Amino acid sequence: MAFENGTANMPSAARKTWFSLTFLVVRCFGAFFDDISVLPQDCYDFVVIGGGTAGLVVANRLSENPKVSVLVIEAGASNKDVLDIKVPFYSTRVSSRTLYDWNYTTVPQAQLNGRSIDYTRGHVLGGCSSTNFMIYTRGSSEDYDRIAEVTRDQGWSWHNLQPFILRNEIVTPPADHHNTQGQYTPAVHGHSGVNSNSLPGFATPMDERIMRSTQEHPKEFPFNEDYNSGFQLGIGWGMATILNGERSSSATSYLAPKYAARPNLHVVLNSRVTRVLASSKTSSRSSITSDYSTRGRTSKLVSIDTVEVATAADGPRKFITARKEIVLSAGSIGSPQILMNSGIGDFDALTKLGVESILNNPSVGQNLSDHPVVGNTWFVNETETWEKLVRNDTFAEEALQLWRTKRQGPLVNTVTTQLGWLRIPDNSGAFKEHPDDPAAGPNTAHYEFVFANGMRGKLPTEGNFVTISTVVASPASRGSVQLRSGDPFDDPLIDPNFYGSKFDMTVMKEAIYAARHFTAAKAWEGYILKPYFSATKEAEIEDMIRDTTRTISHPVGTAAMSAKSADYGVVDPDLRVKGIQSGLRVIDGSVFPYIPAGHTQAPVYIIAERGSQLMKDAWGL
């Protein structure tokens, strides 16, 4: 059933003429639409599902060719003029339990004492790039070389991805314009790309102490001038997607006004894709698609060319057709959910929920990988920490006015100014539980330090703090995303299965010990007063981990790439959905077969840049 509009009673031919004339008008300016009911046409060359980190890259690159039409369908609202999105330091205000988040929670986590935890995902134009903490890390070169090996496609190797990395990135000066020599290596970065990143634009009291600690313990905690070079091990200055003291997201960069004005690009907001549907071109002949575990069931060769969209669970559906391809860029939760609601997934599980199966692929929604994080906090002998912004209203208002007028001051930074990438010892007991190292190679981190000039979460009434959050960067655990019901508007069942592997628990404990050793350096004498958490015995530390672990919000893998000949996985190396004859790709973080040892924003941009080029090459654009 289509939405009602003023053309409902027109004869078919007149209605088509009206749509065509309307499109000619909006094509002159490009167009944004508040919801799907007012979209002036129902057919495009390409339909991109999700206006997030990856989706807007794809839309930008495809619409570079004026001969094709591109539609982006975004479930959330506009990012425009939202202060909490624009101000880097305010990023914690939009990342959970807000209008701009999907507000998911996980299923109870067995290894977290049965806790369900918030699972943040951006629900706004720009997706997670509009709500994340903006940290720019690529991971190690080994992360990408492993993907190339597993998929048997050398296009995914570190070396061959360099043009796409540089195509995405433009390094810009920090907000305070300080001398950045020795804080990063310009030669390994892009300087003419689309999305901006920069070094911290406001100094904090911990900066010098962190650098001095690397000098005191160069073997355990080496300084790395640029962990984005492909060799990531060590501690270095953090880059973030910030331009002139303001967040740089896919919405502000890839959908900047000069791109949004393209007459062949439409963006519709507040509209949720519920399913993708089979094409009338679908083959009528039957076959056994044994590569995807149909277990002898007969199925048709399916092509996909239609998107079903709604604005409410009980509202009408509108159908949009793609002449060439549909691109799923709804993220590691949304993309597998849409696939399964469309009948692409495990036959038995879908049948139990009353979802008609069109392709039996048990890999859909499996292989969820994420980075668990624990905050390790100390009281410090310092007043210039985050706590001043929370407790002193006058200072907070002055900081906001300084940001508004000059884009300077403490609000120009994200939550961290330095990061560390480190490995557990080769003789660690973790390898007794998991002899196959889950890291991509010997130069890839097992865990990460995220340094913060204050405390995250519920703040005590007194005290100032420094935090080193420890993150399992190369987890062995795998979880899943499954449908809760046959209703596309029901939140899916999200299970990251944190510490499902004992290896990850051992890594987290060793990371916490390492953070404590790091803060014992002479550089911290007279600054650190005492730990906030008193746990010292191994059992107590493990209890603390189970009680305080949260996600750092890097889910990947739920529509994973595999080799074309593999009998597992969801997409081929060209990102086409396996077992679908034509018309459907997935381009977002869900296609990573392994989680990169890094914050996943930059890797998703990289995936999207190469995925867009694969599409352009396939269609001769």
- Report CA dihedral (258, 261, 264, 266) to the nearest 10 degrees: 120
Nearest to 604 by CA among 139, 35, 219, 59: 139
599 is catalytic: yes
Residues 494, 483: Cα–Cα separation, whole Å: 9
What are 414's two structure tokens? Answer: 């994200």
Residue 134: the pLDDT is 98
Closest Cα to residue 307, out of 130, 126, 128, 488? 488
Distance CA 433, CA 431 (A): 5
- Residue numbers in the known binding site for FAD are 124, 273, 589
Task: Write out the two tokens for 332.
Answer: 């590691």
Write the CB contacts of 232 (distance below 8 Å, at least 6 apart in sequence). Answer: 137, 139, 140, 224, 421, 443, 444, 445, 597, 598
CA pair distance 139, 598, nearest whole angstrom:
5
Binding-site residues = 124, 273, 589
Would residue 583 be called left, alpha or beta, if left means φ above 0 and alpha means ψ between -120 and 50 degrees?
left
Write the DSSP string, 377-396.
Answer: EEEES-S-SHHHHHH-HHHH
In this structure, is the dihedral angle defined by the CA atoms of residues 226, 230, 235 and 240, taken in order, positive or negative?
A: positive
Distance CA 398, CA 122 (A): 29
Q: Of 169, 232, 163, which Cα lies nearest the Cα of 197?
A: 169
Q: How far apart are CA 143 and CA 445, in angstroms?
A: 10
The 10s digit of each residue's pLDDT in 249-279 is 999 999 999 999 999 999 999 999 999 999 8
Tokens read off for 123: 């629900």
Separation CA 310–CA 326 (nearest Å) = 17
Task: Give the Cα-Cα-Cα angle 581, 584, 585 (nearest 5 degrees).
Answer: 120
Taking alpha carbons only, the member of 577, 574, 561, 557 closest to residue 289 is 577
pLDDT of residue 428: 86
Domains, the chain, in order of start with CATH, read 1-82+121-134+262-370+481-498+555-621 (3.50.50.60), 174-247+372-472+500-548 (3.30.560.10)
pLDDT digits (tens, 9 = 90+) for 521-533: 999 999 999 999 8
pLDDT reported for residue 283: 52
Tokens of 377: 């906090």
For residues 211 and 120, give the distance between their C-alpha atoms in angstroms, rounded to a whole number: 32
Q: Contact at 8 Å (CB) between 13 and 244?
A: no
Q: Judge residue 372's burial from the number of C-beta atoms within 10 Å of its C-beta, 0-12 exposed, 13-18 middle, 19 or more buried.
A: buried
Answer positive or negative: Cα dihedral of 56, 62, 65, 66.
negative
- What single string gives the DSSP state of each residue in 140-200? -HHHHHHHHHHHT-GGGSHHHHHHHHHHHEEE---TT----BTTB-GGGS-BSSSEEEB--
State how beta strands 318-328 and 302-310 pair.
Answer: antiparallel
Q: Is residue 177 annotated as part of the catalytic site, yes or no?
A: no
Q: Are β-strands 465-472 and 447-452 bridged in parallel, bridged antiparallel, or unpaired?
A: antiparallel
| Parts of the chain with a pLDDT under 50 | 1-29, 284-291, 293-298
Number of Cβ within 10 Å of residue 219's Cβ equals: 5
CA 405, 407, 411 angle in degrees (round to 5)? 115
